[in-house]
Amino acid sequence: MKPSIGVECQHCSHESQLEVDKEIKSIQCSSCKATWQINRDRIFKKCPICGCPYFYGQKDFNKVLGLAIMLIGICLAPFTYCLSLPVLSFFDWLLYQRVPNMVVCYDCRSEFRGFDVPADMEGFKHFLAEKFEKENK
């Protein structure tokens, strides 16, 4: 999987998934041609899109798919004597384990896929997210 950044352009609000090769030093919005400089060695020290130093790690897992799997298990529960719940929970867990990690910027919500996630990357923290929501209003 090639490294890519899912970004909403701060200038034109256009959303795009921009691939980042090892040679690439900058990325450009496909709509308004705004440019951001990329330093792959320091990519999780400071966001190349907004300059924010705060990131969180999460699985690149479609939450709607996970919810749909569990809803199917719940709907089938009366007919399967609730055996569908542990079976589909296990299936959901297996899918979740196979999905790669990604990193998200707290401020601009840019999504970094395919990069090496640092071992010390922490998960989502509500108080940081609230801080950035208040600042962006």
What is residue 83's three-state secondary structure?
Answer: coil
Q: What is the mean pLDDT of residues 43-65?
A: 91
Query: Each residue of 66-96: pLDDT tens digit?
Result: 899 999 999 999 999 999 999 999 998 999 8
Q: What is the C-alpha to C-alpha distance for residues 128 and 136, in angstroms, rounded to an integer?
A: 12
Q: What is the mean pLDDT of residues 100-110?
A: 93
Based on DSSP, count helices (H) and strands (E) in the chain, helices before strands: 3, 7
> Domain ranges in the chain?
1-57+101-137, 61-99
Q: What is the C-alpha to C-alpha distance for residues 23 and 45, in angstroms, rounded to an integer?
A: 19
Residue 137, pLDDT score: 64
Cβ proximity of 58 and 44 under 8 Å: no
Alpha-carbon dihedral of residues 124, 22, 20, 65, nearest 10 degrees?
Answer: -50
Q: From 3, 21, 19, 7, select the one nearest 52 (Cα to Cα).
A: 7
Confidence band of 103 (pLDDT split at 50, 70, 90): very high
pTM as predicted? 0.82
Residue 28, pLDDT score: 83
Residue 101, pLDDT score: 92
Distances (CA, A) of 88 to 62, 81, 100, 125: 16, 13, 20, 29
